[in-house]
Structure 1
Amino acid sequence: MPRADAQRNIDALLAAAKEEFAEHGVEVGVRSIAARAGVGTATLYRHFPLRSDLIAGVFRREIDDVTAQAARLAESHEPFEALALWAQRYTEFVATKHGLGSALRSGEPAYSGLRDYFESNAGPALGHLLDAAAKAGAIRGGIDPIELIGAIANLSVPPPGSADTSRASRMVGLLLDGLRYGAAPAA
């Protein structure tokens, strides 16, 4: 476990990198990230020697946030509303990752376990939301969480030549409405 001051620097760097990646893509300069975090570039490189380490760190942090969000929503909302709110959060997660997809497919060693990490964390979290919504009679049962995650991700990518981020929300809303077809009444 890093010292408290080192952890603060890591947290600041990951938050700054997330914002810079969302605004400018993953090829943004490290000086911009360090400046936004309020640290020097030497601090950035001490914690994240390679750009791929920083990208992987941001991605893992986002996976953790998306996963934790599922549990928080399940506690505070009705099952279908929790599912819909989680899908919206995941849509935002995908939509703000300019260039991240191609970076993750680059073969860099830092990215090797991210897909498994994502599926083993976000998959069960979404599975719980799906099960609760099906049990409540809000959606049909038997929906594979990883397949739904893939469908949401595909719908979240803007069409070529477009930057219309509102489209993703509308398309995911239609997808979720389709899950209601064939729902069994609550027991």
Structure 2
Amino acid sequence: MSSQQVRPLRADAQQNYERLLAVAARAFTREGAGASLKTIAQEAGVGIGTLYRRFPTRETLVEAVYRNEVARLCTAAPALVAESPPVDALRTWMEQFIDFMAAKHGMADALRAVLVSEDERMHTRGLLRDALATLLDAGVADGVIRPGLDPYDLLMGLGGITLIAEGPGQRDLALRLVDLLINGVRL
């Protein structure tokens, strides 16, 4: 096997990996990137050795959580469109974006050290923009969302909402602002 090939994880190891990422995302949202790795491992039901085997440093865990959350958010768009009316799918995705940004805020200092490239940040924005385009296109096709909207503008609006409502207990404010944003894109 070449050094470029990576063997897939066993099913139980994959479950541990995914559970570690989910628990770490919640811990970073609550406590920031300095959250206890020992506590994360315990909450995920694995030993600290398992955490360090998968994520040798705190930074690798932060980066993996960030990338996993971006991927989760991006893959959610087509699934939401398939299972919900377009406006409901858009609102659900926006709520997930608010949660993503809360986790990202908790990891902000560590992410600055990990994601230093402007190309990397722009690539992530492009992925999120494409996910929003999927949601908007479904709404336009269904006749419930105004055509001609730039998904990037909507993404920046969402980013602004998360900055305004980033403090503790501000999720309700963020959701009210999301409703205003949705009303602005509806026909």
Structure 1 70/24 Cα, relative in aligned 2: closer, same or farther at 3 Å? Answer: same
Does the 8 Å CA contact 1:95/1:165 hold for their aligned counterparts?
no
The 3 A distance-change label for structure 1 pair 80 and 4 is closer
Q: Name structure 2 gaps, 5 residues minimum.
A: 1-7
- Indicate which of 114, 129, 136 corresponds to 1:130: 136
1:89 is the counterpart of 2:96: yes
Residue in structure 2 matched with residue 172 of structure 1 by the alignment: 178
Aligned: 1:7 with 2:14: yes
Structure number with higher helix proportion: 2
- Which residue, 32, 44, 47 being the options, matches 2:39? 32
Structure 1 segments, 4+ long, off by >4 Å, are 111-114, 158-162
* TM-score, scaled relative to structure 1: 0.82
- Map 1:41-56; keep pairs closer than 5 Å: 41-56=48-63
Quick one: structure 1 residues 36 and 82, their matched pair in 2 at CA, closer, same or farther if it must change by over 3 Å?
A: same
Q: Could you tell which deviates more after superposition, 79-88 or 28-37?
A: 79-88
What is the TM-score of this pair, normalised by structure 2? 0.82
Query: Which residue does the alignment assign to 1:147?
Result: 153
Distance 2:9 2:122 in 1: 25
Of the structure 1 ranges 151-160 and 39-48, higher mean CA displacement relative to structure 2 is found in 151-160
Query: Whole-Å Cα distance in 2 between the matches of residues 29 and 162 of structure 1?
Result: 20
1:69 pairs with 73, 76, 100, which one?
Answer: 76
Q: Which moved more, 1:57-66 or 1:3-12?
A: 3-12
CA pair 75-160 structure 1, distance change in 2 beyond 3 A: closer
Aligned counterparts, 1:99-118, within 5 A: 99-104=106-111, 106-108=112-114, 112=117, 115-118=121-124
What is the root-mean-square deviation of aligned Cα atoms in Å?
A: 2.4
**What is the CA–CA distance in structure 2 between the aligned matches of 1:179 and 1:54, rounded to whole Å?**
37
Please say which of residues 26-35 and 36-45 is displaced more in the overlay: 36-45
SS state at 2:113 partner: coil
| Cα deviation 1:2-23 (Å, max 9, x = unaligned) | 2334323212211221121122
- The 8 Å contact of residues 67 and 121 in structure 1, kept in 2 or not, is answered as yes
Cα deviation for residue 161 of structure 1 reads: 6.1
Aligned partner letter, 1:53? T
CA contact (8 A) 2:33 2:109 kept: no
Match of 2:5 in 1: none
Q: Is the 8 A contact 2:29 2:107 kept in 1?
A: no
Cα shift readout 1:166-185 (whole Å, capped 9, x = no counterpart)? 000001111111123xx4xx
Give the number of equivalent residue pairs. Answer: 179
AA partner of residue 125 (structure 1): A
**Paired letter, 2:159:** A
